[in-house]
Structure 1
Amino acid sequence: MSTRFVLGMGGTVDYEIRWDAAVLEQLAAEHRIGPEDLDLRAPVESVRDLVRSLLAFVRDGVGGERFVASSDIVEAVAARFTKAITLGGTCVRAAIAMDVLGVPSTMHLVSIDDTVRRLLPASVDYVSSAEHDSRDPHLIVQYPAGARVRVGEVELVAPHPNRIIYANDPPHRELRIAADLPDALRTADVFLLSSFNVIQDPDTLESRLAQVRDAMRTMPPDSLVVFEDAGYHVPELSRRVRDEMVWSADVYSLNEDEMQAYLGREVDLLDASTVAKAVAELHHLVPAPTLVVHSKYWALAVGQRAAALGPSLVGGITMASTRYRLGDEFTAEDYAATAATTLSGSTRRLASEVADLLGADACVVPALDLSDVAAPTTIGLGDSFVGGFLAALDRR
């Protein structure tokens, strides 16, 4: 019998813009943005704010997610670039990735329109709390390593490829829970939780956590709950979600950006002792039964289920790597070809060293060598990792 997956808590319609430094330079000039105006943390209340935020991300080579004051800002910026319209959100991208391997799922949605209906794979069912059709697009920007943008007299050079998300999405901000979620969970083997990061009101967050907690009481006693963390629109709410999920989730998963946000410092992901120290400290801050951290160089699990999750870590890396190589359009054969990719000797050694330092309750898997990919995709890699991670549970 196939594993029954329920994936929550919401999907999005994404505007994926094609990277164009000339357009970005023109926007910076039009809004009189200089190097001194770049700010990763400033509220995004205008097109000017979004551009100076985006340029700061490129300068630092990092990714993230930011709330914007209005969807009109997203539309105005997206109109200046060539774009593709796709589906996003952790549960949706994970479901699409799982579908490639023939693994069906049921999603929980909070918004829907004809674009969502048209783009969802046939194997994906859904329950929805939406009372009418709506669209509040997310602006997704990915930039390559070495991307150059001139701002005034300064040329910014991106040290790493990455992606940024900008959105104002009222249905996600409300994250209303579908009345039929408990019925969907009644026969679920695996429940994926995500999307609480977009809620901005503490009372709304408390209500949604309580509703999900109640719905989970219908789950079979041997089911698995996986939580995927994210960047919070209101950082202060992160701790409340963490405190809830460390006891309600069997597996608590996050990426390197979120790990560094918890620790309040950058972590050298290629230094074994630094990584091991950071993961041990993180597990103290996030005392989940099993903690999963996925990065561009490795993926690891520590805690109760770490050893058993080795194949899932490999599945997650393989799926994310396939998306990195090929973008939205790939097949099960492409996934198999990625799985046959040579492991990097340096990352293999790094993974082994980190595993030795973390001890017996850890499993560390090295990333694949993708240094020859000419035009990588950096959007949705974490979501694809989750899809590959979950699909491997089904294959077991």
Structure 2
Amino acid sequence: MGTTLVLGLGGTVDYEVHWDAAVIESLASRFGIRRVELTTMAPIVDERSLVVTILGFVRDGAGGERFVVSSEVVKEFSERFATEITLGGTGVRAGIALDRLGIPSVQHLVSIDDNVRRLLPASMSYVSSATEDTLDPHLIVQYPAGTTIRLDDGEIVSPSSNRLIFANDPPNRNMAITPELGDALVDAAALLVSGFNTMQDEDLLERRLIELDAVMEHLPSAALVYYEDAGFYVRRFAERIWSHLLPRIDVYGMNEDELQEYVARPVDLLDPADVASALREVHRLIPVPALLVHTQHWAVMLGTAAERHREALESAVQMAATRYRLGDAFLAADFEATRDLPRSTGGGAVASGVERLIPGAVGVPAFRIETASPTTIGLGDSFVGGFLAVYAPVRQPQP
């Protein structure tokens, strides 16, 4: 059994803006934005189209990740708000969650700058393919349930809270893989693969997958391979991933947004039969030993290896709930305290219902958290960290 958790493939610098409905409303008025033109799918070429897209997501209560034509659009928009600089990327945020439990990790990074050096926890070492310092921030917008924005032709009210990501990040689009990753994998207990979703050049993606195939030969045979889907900018690219990695993937994770993209229809997340039908459909498309879908209500895993990961699934839901109520400012004791909190009634009904409908499925309800200031940013990433914590062979005492 290996002794390290290796998490990749790319990290980011995030500009987390503090939601201010008055600023959004002012921008909507300035740009003359009307309800009829709201969309989440149009190209984001300037600040106006960015606001149109944000409002489209707010109207639907949905989350997502979108490409922006220039990092300058991100910087211009973020300057209008109180903004916190943080580190992102599934691997990095999963590593930060692990750090709170005293679990070290090795990160594979594709970009580096002083923000990364300053903010990366000491428990997280890294290998990097970057040849120079660069900064291409990801804009993170977290909006609350019930936020109201008045437009010229009416108002929109968000039915739920969610988070949005907007970026133009050349290093992550390029996703260069350092040969040092192979050395890091020699003693790995688990490898997290994520980040290919931001790539936009199909030939380059193919080359990167061939390179990853090669370095994964260094993995011990017993190492766990966890792949997180994370929403492709170009959806058909997922098929490239499947052609290379499906034989190596032990756990394939995604959230409700990606689930609904794959089945190309809305899924009633509180209807066990509808959820089970969608899960079966996606599992036929992605036939891995353990397909994992995590949502605000529940997390469900199906496949021949699902039962083997029940403890990890419980840990993952517990970690996401801990971040939801406390952000990054939590200790191992806070993580343990989350276990005693009440669970989602609707989520419990789906978890048990899917277990009845799909033989071998494992369902875990989300926790019911009451907080005036929830953190919706990075919950899926923290979920992954909580899952991998169960497979961590090394734990360090917290300061």
- TM-score relative to the length of structure 2: 0.96
Name the counterpart of 2:223. 223
Name the counterpart of 1:118. 118
Q: Deviations over 1:39-93 (max 9, x none)?
A: 1100101111101001000001100000000000000100111111000000000
Equivalence map 1:154-303=2 (5 Å) = 154-303=154-303
Name the counterpart of 2:373. 375
Name the counterpart of 1:364. 363
Compared with structure 1, are the counterparts of its residues 344 and 395 closer, same or farther at alpha carbon in structure 2 (3 Å cutoff)?
A: farther
Deviates more, 1:70-79 or 1:325-334: 325-334
Compared with structure 1, are the counterparts of its residues 226 and 351 closer, same or farther at alpha carbon in structure 2 (3 Å cutoff)?
A: same
Deviates more, 1:381-390 or 1:2-11: 2-11
Amino acid at match of 1:380: G
Q: Is the 8 A contact 2:325 2:375 kept in 1?
A: yes
- Structure 2 distance, partners of 1:229, 1:180, is 24
Q: Is the 8 A contact 2:5 2:392 kept in 1?
A: no
Name the counterpart of 1:136. 136
Name the counterpart of 1:61. 61
Q: Is 1:90 aligned with 2:87?
A: no
Amino acid at match of 2:219: M
Deviates more, 1:170-179 or 1:25-34: 25-34
Name the counterpart of 2:385. 387
- TM-score relative to the length of structure 1: 0.97
Shift of 1:242: 3.2
Q: Is the 8 A contact 1:68 1:168 kept in 2?
A: yes
Shift of 1:2: 7.8
Shift of 1:304: 2.3
Compared with structure 1, are the counterparts of its residues 346 and 70 closer, same or farther at alpha carbon in structure 2 (3 Å cutoff)?
A: closer
SS for the counterpart of 1:141 is strand
- Structure 2 distance, partners of 1:226, 1:390, is 9
Gaps spanning 5+ residues in structure 2: where? 395-399
- Structure 2 distance, partners of 1:231, 1:294, is 13
Compared with structure 1, are the counterparts of its residues 345 and 68 closer, same or farther at alpha carbon in structure 2 (3 Å cutoff)?
A: closer
Name the counterpart of 1:326. 326
Name the counterpart of 1:35. 35
Amino acid at match of 2:365: P
Shift of 1:285: 1.0
Taking only the aligned residue pairs, the percentage that are identical comes to 52
Gaps spanning 5+ residues in structure 1: where? none
Name the counterpart of 2:22. 22
Shift of 1:344: 3.3
Aligned length: 394
Amino acid at match of 1:300: V
- Structure 2 distance, partners of 1:123, 1:288, is 31
Deviates more, 1:376-385 or 1:230-239: 230-239
Q: Is 1:150 aligned with 2:150?
A: yes
- Structure 1 distance, partners of 2:157, 2:242, is 35
Amino acid at match of 1:41: M
- Structure 2 distance, partners of 1:206, 1:383, is 25
Q: Is the 8 A contact 1:299 1:367 kept in 2?
A: yes
CA RMSD of aligned residues (A): 1.4
Deviates more, 1:1-10 or 1:58-67: 1-10
Amino acid at match of 1:362: A
- Structure 2 distance, partners of 1:136, 1:25, is 27
Shift of 1:395: 7.0
